[in-house]
Amino acid sequence: MVEQAVEQAVEQAVEQAVEQAVEQAVEQAVEQLVVDASPYPFGFSPEHTALLVIDMQRDFVEPGGFGETLGNDVSMLRKVIPPLSEVLSATREAGILVIHTREGHLPDLSDCPPAKLNRGSPSMRIGDPGPKGRILIRGEYGHDIIDELAPLDGELVIDKPGKGSFHGTNLGEVLEAAGTTSLIVTGVTTEVCVHTTVREANDRGYECLVLSDCVGSYFEEFQRAGLAMIAAQGGIFGWVAPSENYLKVV
């Protein structure tokens, strides 16, 4: 009698444990999407993820803005626009949080350190009047995001004074409030604002996937090296994948 009761109790306990384990595994499988990425697959749960679209502003992508004053060929960045448009649409449809950033300064330049203002010998300095308004100044036409990637009403736009998206902004608080742990990173330029942001995010504990064709540089060698540096050493800063791999799962 006792043996039978023990056997039954053990059987029931095993059945329950197996059921629970299966339920947990199914829940996790449903929540986690996996992107084929370098250096190894990137798993993320959509409700804890945000798409960052960094500085897709006329000032960087169109002639007559900050990027051009620094001596750059701005047409180099335009190839990012079609794949990033697709990623933006798919991400919105999937209900994943979208956050845009803009680099720029207050009209009185009080948030622009002299070290940034006086650096190099650009054809025009930050704050000078250019064909698209004052260079890199908030509220000017050139400072705003290009029409092709315009934020939707209600999407967050974070204005930042530096290259990183966390420095001098409330991005950290916004992400914490949203329960975000993973970032899909896009925008320009790969080795400047994208890299600085990914490094800031990585040090803060976020897992970053950089979409290789949705980030752009004025320099081909920096694009290559910038992406390689993120995924090197077992993903020292994060993961890298082409947008088609992200679009397959989202």
The 156-185 contact track toward ligand TIU, x by CB under 6 A, reads -------x----------------------
List the one residue from 61, 77, 188, 210 that touches ligand TIU (CB under 6 A): 188
Minimum CB separation of residue 102 from ligand TIU in Å reads: 9
Q: List all residues 6 or more positions away from 188 whose beta carbon is below 8 Å from its beta carbon.
A: 54, 55, 56, 60, 61, 77, 80, 194, 215, 216, 217
- d(Cα 193, Cα 211) in Å, to the nearest integer? 14
The 76-115 contact track toward ligand TIU, x by CB under 6 A, reads ---------------------------x------------
DSSP letter, residue 149? G
Minimum CB separation of residue 101 from ligand TIU in Å reads: 8
Site stretch for ligand TIU (CB under 6 A), options 20-28, 75-83, 188-196, 228-236: 188-196
Residue placing its CB nearer to ligand TIU in the complex, 135 or 193: 193
AA letter at 39: P
Residue placing its CB nearer to ligand TIU in the complex, 119 or 248: 119
* Other beta carbons less than 10 A from residue 60's beta carbon: 28
Residue placing its CB nearer to ligand TIU in the complex, 103 or 144: 103
**CB of 128 closer than 8 Å to CB of 163:** no
Residue 68 binds to ligand TIU (criterion: CB under 6 A): no
Distance linking the first and last C-alpha atoms of the chain: 56
Residue 189 binds to ligand TIU (criterion: CB under 6 A): yes
- d(Cα 190, Cα 210) in Å, to the nearest integer? 9
- d(Cα 157, Cα 70) in Å, to the nearest integer? 25
Residue placing its CB nearer to ligand TIU in the complex, 45 or 72: 72
Residue 193 binds to ligand TIU (criterion: CB under 6 A): yes
**Catalytic residue set:** 55, 160, 193
**For residue 22, what are the CA distances in angstroms to 44, 45, 134, 151, 198?**
20, 19, 60, 41, 36
The 196-225 contact track toward ligand TIU, x by CB under 6 A, reads ----------------------x-------
Residue 69 binds to ligand TIU (criterion: CB under 6 A): no
Residue 50 binds to ligand TIU (criterion: CB under 6 A): no
- d(Cα 138, Cα 106) in Å, to the nearest integer? 6
Q: List all residues 6 or more positions away from 50 whose beta carbon is below 8 Å from its beta carbon.
A: 96, 97, 98, 99, 175, 178, 180, 182, 183, 184
List the one residue from 42, 44, 60, 166 that touches ligand TIU (CB under 6 A): 60
Binding site for ligand TIU (CB under 6 A): 55, 60, 70, 103, 163, 188-189, 192-193, 218
